Structure 1
Amino acid sequence: MSSGPEQGPLTAPNPLPPAIMGGSRYELDPEYPEIFARDGFVGPIEVYSEDFASRLADCADLLRARAPELEARLYEVEAGSLARPDEVVFHCLGGWLVDDLLRSVVFEPRVTVPAAQCLGVRRLRFWHDQIFTKPPRHPGLVPWHQDYSYWQRTTPEAHVTVHIALDDADEDNGCLHYVPGSHRWPLLERTAFDGPMDAVLEHLSPECLRAFHPRAMTLKRGQAVLHHGRTLHGSYANRSDRPRRALVLNYFADGVRAARDESMLRGLPILTAGSLLVEPWFPLVLDREPRSGPEVASR
């Protein structure tokens, strides 16, 4: 994914809400984490009303419309979507830095509690957000990929993604597709965001190719699907007369560190290898078991 133009340091959100310490009412039934462990994804999960999801969709539209103006204040805007908007899916990271509503949902227990359950932790930190927009009849797709292939600057691998549909999403308008069980596969080569859909397949072993049986994840507006950082997923073009917009919230277990000397996201300070990822950029959003030291997911 393109890193975009050079920019100065970003401004950290301030103040940040405190971490939620309860949230039992938002816990998933036990079978949901079990499905997540088996398949590497689980959904649909009821998260937001259609009306609230519509408000989030308005935020997504605003970010897309103002992307050239806001780019310096975001982590990333996919360069291809700016240069070739009629061909490449719009994709940006860092909406929470510029939009109060997007910032508020980062801390919502209706999101963070299920995410922590599926990850198997009680303390959860925010990694980053993403907006995806496919207008009607848009040919853009998102090639097969594993999220953690882009996140190897963090360690250990203890990440979970919450993909929230801001429109009804089905195969006609380019919903997500997942490969069940692929979270147990080796880490694959990174793919270009604007590259061919099946580029990653040439890196699959014969065993993985035999197990490559994608499943469509249809969602209603306001529903979510959660997936593991290594689960192979992608989405096809929007061949319908409807938009397909989504808000993606990525989290990791408390205790994740920088794997090497690097800025974790564009515009953030460089961290030394071994540094904990903490406030203000990676806030604790859920703390259901206060303790003195950090927690990491067991794998």
Structure 2
Amino acid sequence: MSYTQTTEEEKQARLFYEENGYWISPVVFNAEEVEALRKAHDRIWNHDFDGDAYPLTEWFPDPNKPDRLRKIDNGWWINDEMYNAVTSRKLGKLAANLMNTSEVRLWYDQAIYKPGTGKGETSVGNVGWHQDWVYWQCTNTSNLVTAWVALQDTDLSNGCMQVIPGSHKWGLLNSDGFFNTELEAVRKQMEVEEKPWREEPLILKAGQVSFHHALTIHGSRQNFSNDPRLSIVAHYIPHGTAYKRVQNVDNIRLLGPRPKEGDLFDNQYFPLAYSASEE
């Protein structure tokens, strides 16, 4: 089902997104909400979890390498503030407009912590160029969108995300590079020398959100500041998204029972973030 009840601003946002593969929102979360999410980060990294569950996957750096990026998947499962944010109607409705769908569910989320290095140029903390759908081919559509919520002013000085505008139209590439910090090596691996490669930094104020398509190439460089760069990231699926079995591609981040071919991701493990029927 398409989501057609749009304002002129929503139409312009969708047109920009469809052309470029990304879009930056106005401020969505106010200062109080941002502070609450920063505190949620602290609790998550200290393993102070809400409820009885554990996070499904987490990636921490070597204790002897504190400059490395760290992330945790499915923070909503173990932190109430994360749950409220990533299933909020205000994020869900923005995602619905961009995906042109009547319903949005959370695929999964991430809390990402990029330590400040406060020193000269290095690959430490880089996130390699990649497309999210490389990891999500167990869905029957690539029409997924990621919402990246800045929990502080974010720019090139502290390692903001960068996207390659229009790359969502290039198809699925050899881009399994998230943890490869050598960005130029990853770019060569992707074989995009003949493509119009332009790196666009997504500069955000605290509480702003950038959205990008599941096929949009993106990555980030190091955090040169002395403070960590914090973000929460919500990945969303449109109405009708179902499981597709692809050999050697099984998303280990999925919660709940192992799905069968054609099963819809429409249960409690993929919470509803927006439905046009509730308008």
Q: Same fold (TM over 0.5)?
A: yes
What whole-Å deviation, never above 9, does each CA across 1:184-208 have from its counterpart, x for those lacking one?
A: 0121124243312234312223322
The match for 2:266 is 278
Alignment match, 1:161: 146
Instruction: State the AA in 1 paired with 2:184.
Output: D
Q: After superposition, where does 1:229-268 map in structure 2 within 5 Å?
A: 229-260=214-245, 265=253, 268=256
Q: Secondary structure at the match of 2:110?
A: strand
Cα distance change on mapping 1:234 and 1:145 into 2, 3 Å:
same
Structure 2 residues not aligned, in runs of 5+? 119-123
In 2, distance between residues paired with 1:167 and 1:188? 32
Higher mean C-alpha displacement, 39-48 vs 199-208:
199-208
Contact 1:162–1:225 under 8 Å retained in 2? yes
Task: Give the structure 1 partner of residue 121 of structure 2.
Answer: none
Unaligned runs of 5+ in 1: 1-23, 291-299
Aligned residue in 2 for 1:197: 183
- SS state of the match for residue 187, structure 1? coil
The answer (yes or no) to whether the contact 1:264–1:270 under 8 Å persists in 2 is no
**C-alpha distance in structure 1 between counterparts of 2:85 and 2:8, whole Å:** 17
CA distance in 1 between partners of 2:136 and 2:64 (Å): 26
* In 2, Cα distance between equivalents of 1:267 and 1:107: 16
- Paired residues in the alignment total 263
Q: Does 1:114 align with 2:72?
A: no
- Counterpart residue number, 1:88: 68
Distance 2:72 2:103 in 1: 26
Partner of 1:207: 194
**Could you tell me how far 1:164 is from its partner in structure 2?**
0.5
- Give the TM-score taking structure 1 as reference length: 0.80
Deviating runs (4+, > 6 A) in structure 1? 24-27
Aligned mates of 1:264, 1:66 — CA distance in 2: 21
Output the CA distance in 1 between the equivalents of 2:42 and 2:140.
33
**Cα distance between partner residues in 2 of 1:85 and 1:45:** 36
Q: Which amino acid aligns with 2:256?
A: L
The code of the aligned residue for 1:114 comes to L
Residue 6 of structure 1 aligns with which residue? none
Please give the per-residue CA displacement for 1:3-58, whole angstroms capped at 9, x wherever unaligned: xxxxxxxxxxxxxxxxxxxxx99995432111111110011422111221111011
Identity among equivalent pairs (%): 27
How far residue 223 of structure 1 moved from its aligned partner, in angstroms, is: 0.5
RMSD: 2.6
Q: Does 2:35 match 1:51?
A: no
Provide the residue aligned with 1:142 in structure 2: 127
Q: Which residue of 2 aligns with 1:62?
A: 43
Is 130-139 or 141-150 further displaced after alignment?
Answer: 130-139
Do the aligned residues in 2 keep the contact of 1:45 with 1:225 (CA within 8 Å)? no
